[in-house]
Amino acid sequence: MTTNKTVLTWVDEAVALCKPDHVLWIDGSDKQADTLRQEAFGTGELIPLNQDKLPGCVLHRSDVNDVARVEDRTFICCRRKEDAGPTNNWFDPKEAYPTLRKLYDGCMKGRTMYVIPFVMGPLGSPSAKIGVEVTDSIYVTLSMLIMTRAGQCALDELGQSNDWVRCLHSKAELDPAKRYICHFPEDNAIWSINSGYGGNALMGKKCFALRIASYQAKTEGWMAEHMMILGIQDPQGNTRYVAAAFPSACGKTNLAMLIPPEIYQEKGYKAWCVGDDIAWMRIGEDGRLYAINAEKGFFGVAPGTNAKSNPNALATTTRNTIFTNVALNLDDNTVWWEGLDKNPPKNALDWKGNPWNPDMEVKAAHPNSRFTAPAENCPVISDQFNDPQGVPIDAIIFGGRRAKTAPLVYQARDWEHGVFVGSIMASETTAATTGKVGVVRRDPMAMLPFCGYNMGDYWQHWLEMGKKLGDKAPKIFNVNWFRLDDEGHFIWPGFGDNMRVIMWILGRADGTANAVETAIGYEPTPDDINLDGLDFSKEQLAEILEVDPALWREDMESVEQFYARFGDKLPKELKAQLEALKKRLG
């Protein structure tokens, strides 16, 4: 498949280390993928579903101790600890490589090693990057075929270049005590062992697309961000794009695939999805910021996805999709999860494979159960999805779950203030990662678990990108769809109605929308958000636009403590922004 000596040598080294019985190169063909599926059906690694109702769809169950990203077992392995920074786990490569080699030694005996060349980004894009993953998991192999442009096309793109990321993965024994997800940014390498879960095992996901890519981006002068990309088309056919960062399971996919409210649909507005999770952004020839989606598929959270919350995501999963850790409806051999509908199956197997019925107290699907679906299935996938140049970004949006502090939306004063706004992002934790749920933690730019180097340097890189962009920099905003009333209910309706806020954001980006200045930035008045056709009063809107100085002063104390962790790596501009906000808050 290739004559690239760097690839062939590395694969030979991986074979010598892992000692598989067989080696299979993945060519990207449907015929080969079908053969792998049939093999996985025979071993039970995958379960075929009802092909009439869900053509091409399969079910996968991960090990019960292997159901989410494991941040405590995820490491940045760079030569100097300070380059990993205070928010990453550091593992000295001098110790990491020997430790890992002992675990990989012979780990694939009796198994097949699958060699997966893959491209991150559209083929032919100046922003695209190449990787090669070796794995002993058919689930990982088939998932990578959905999530990336994999096979011979990647080797053709690579040619004889040595600019590619080495991705070594093995399920090994699935021993959580020996689980390591290690990133070597200075070596263009990722080594993951003893996990088969998507975020730990699909190397093209967070491992490459964010941790390694963010380091590459800093070095090469671009941006690798945990952002969805949404296009809003006006009645005249003009489409403008926003990129938005939210922590996992905080609504990125819902926003990426939103359906405009009727009042906008009737006028001819449309919404297009370019990506739901990853944005790689470069400055184009015209000086503007352009974004590509580095992935080719969606790795979405299943629970809560339904015909109301995200009909486009649900439609995307109806063919050629891998469902992971959801329930199996034995009556018709389809899948189910909490929040899908109000008709749970009466005869089912839960995500562990145990008999389940609605009277049981246990969940049918794991809270972090997933669907891995081709982006081309999405009814609103953008016609720019495969554009090598990407799409121009008019606005960047940050957001998270805050019950009281953050208002529905506000705009940063300028790029530098916007970097500050992104750097102080906080959100309540979700089931997408192991640990307690509902704890408020700082998650700058939604990159806390994904930045492949010192986050102080990452913020500095953002500031430098702003200087390069100058007056062509996208405007920066913060949103919070999750304000709660005193009874703990969400106040804002969310979902498709979030477009009403996006329209104000785009209006601010082109200078046509009104705003009032507050201590934290520019906010709309209740008259500036279109509420037509919505059972929601201006009084309610005023409530969730309110900025409580006392809550913000308390929040700034937390920010100060967080910033202190970075020492002299904290950019002076952000320290000045913090002091200025404290002064404005009194």
Residues with a known catalytic role: 250
Cβ atoms within 10 Å, residue 80: 10
Q: Any binding-site annotation on 4? A: no
Q: Any binding-site annotation on 248? A: yes
List, in order, residues 6 or more apart from 327 with CB less than 8 Å away: 335, 336, 337, 345, 348, 349, 350, 351, 356, 364, 365
Distance CA 140, CA 131 (A): 14
List, in order, residues 6 or more apart from 169 with CB less than 8 Å away: 133, 134, 135, 136, 137, 140, 190, 191, 192, 193, 201, 203
Q: Any binding-site annotation on 79? A: no
Distance CA 404, CA 517 (A): 20
Q: Any binding-site annotation on 495? A: yes
Alpha carbon separation from 580 to 381, 412, 575 (Å, rounded)? 42, 13, 9
Q: Any binding-site annotation on 369? A: yes
Q: Any binding-site annotation on 410? A: no
Q: Any binding-site annotation on 200? A: no
Q: Any binding-site annotation on 179? A: no
Distance CA 139, CA 468 (A): 42
Q: Any binding-site annotation on 498? A: yes
Q: What is the 3-state secondary structure (H, E, C) of 538-555?
A: HHHHHHHHCCCHHHHHHH
Q: Any binding-site annotation on 218? A: no
Q: Any binding-site annotation on 277? A: yes
Q: Any binding-site annotation on 401? A: yes
List, in order, residues 6 or more apart from 439 with CB less than 8 Å away: 428, 429
Q: Any binding-site annotation on 264? A: no
Alpha carbon separation from 451 to 84, 185, 442 (Å, rounded)? 9, 11, 13
Q: Any binding-site annotation on 89? A: no
Alpha carbon separation from 151 to 4, 115, 483 (Å, rounded)? 14, 9, 45
Q: Any binding-site annotation on 148? A: no
Could you list the residues known to form a binding site for substrate, using ranges. Answer: 69, 197-199, 248, 368-370
Could you list the residues known to form a binding site for Mn(2+), using ranges. Answer: 206, 226, 277
Could you list the residues known to form a binding site for GTP, using ranges. Answer: 249-254, 370, 401, 495-498
Could you list the residues known to form a binding site, using ranges. Answer: 69, 197-199, 206, 226, 248-254, 277, 368-370, 401, 495-498
